Amino acid sequence: MGPLVINEIISENTNLLLAFFIGIGFGFVLEQAGFSSSRKLAGVFYGYDAVVLKVFFTGAITAMLGLLFLSLFGVLDLNLVYVNETFLVSAILGGVVMGAGFIMGGYCPGTSFCGAAIGKIDAMIFIVGLFLGVFIFAEGYPLWENMYKATFLGSPRISEFFGISEGIFTFMVILAAVLMFWGAEWAEKKFPREEY
């Protein structure tokens, strides 16, 4: 029964080795989808390439459904799976700053590694920026530590927070995604571009 490392079915060292292989799968899929190209990634914000939307939401929904099913079949104990914590102010601020970084840089950390892996120099420079940004945050920590730790809401699942069942929430996400995919296909036909 999963998670394997938490139930001590595999050792921590095996876990770290498998992390490497999971990473290979992650990087391979992202690059195959074209996430190594900043021009493709930025396309969703201008309508000409909605690859980010399609891959991201299909991925999130596949994972949501898959995890729920594994839990249903007793293969995975979802209570032992890490759910990231919610620090409301910090999450929103971070998201806004990252959004600005995305539209300017055309990458996010994971995709920049894919881009760098195939030789994209702009991705490599983005990565340099990442290190600088984290360092700036670290050195300035005393200035924003309080904001960083404010409004801690625990680790609620969205379904618990809004009082709806996990199944219903997943269904709503699927519906929203289908609408977005439909819109995306429309936009891509309306703003066609050569492929990057």
| Whole-number Å distance between alpha carbons of 182 and 137 | 39
Give yes or no for residue 136 binding another protein (CB under 8 A): yes
Candidate residues 72, 145, 176, 178; the one interacting with another protein per rule CB under 8 A? 145
Q: How many residues bind another protein (CB under 8 A)?
A: 134
Q: Please state the closest distance from residue 172 (CB atom) to another protein, in A.
A: 11
| Upper half-sphere CA count for residue 29 (Cβ side, 13 Å) | 12
* Residues 96 to 115 in contact with another protein, rule: CB under 8 A: 96-110, 112-115
Give the residue from 162, 193, 168, 153 showing the smallest Cα distance to 44: 193
Candidate residues 29, 72, 175, 176; the one interacting with another protein per rule CB under 8 A? 29
Give yes or no for residue 189 binding another protein (CB under 8 A): yes
Q: Please state the closest distance from residue 180 (CB atom) to another protein, in A.
A: 11
Decide: residue 10, CB within 10 A, 0-12 exposed, 13-18 middle, 19+ buried: middle
Give yes or no for residue 45 binding another protein (CB under 8 A): yes
Candidate residues 8, 73, 74, 121; the one interacting with another protein per rule CB under 8 A? 121
Candidate residues 146, 163, 175, 195; the one interacting with another protein per rule CB under 8 A? 195
Give the residue from 56, 68, 63 showing the smallest Cα distance to 102: 56
How many beta carbons lie within 10 A of that of residue 147, not counting itself?
12
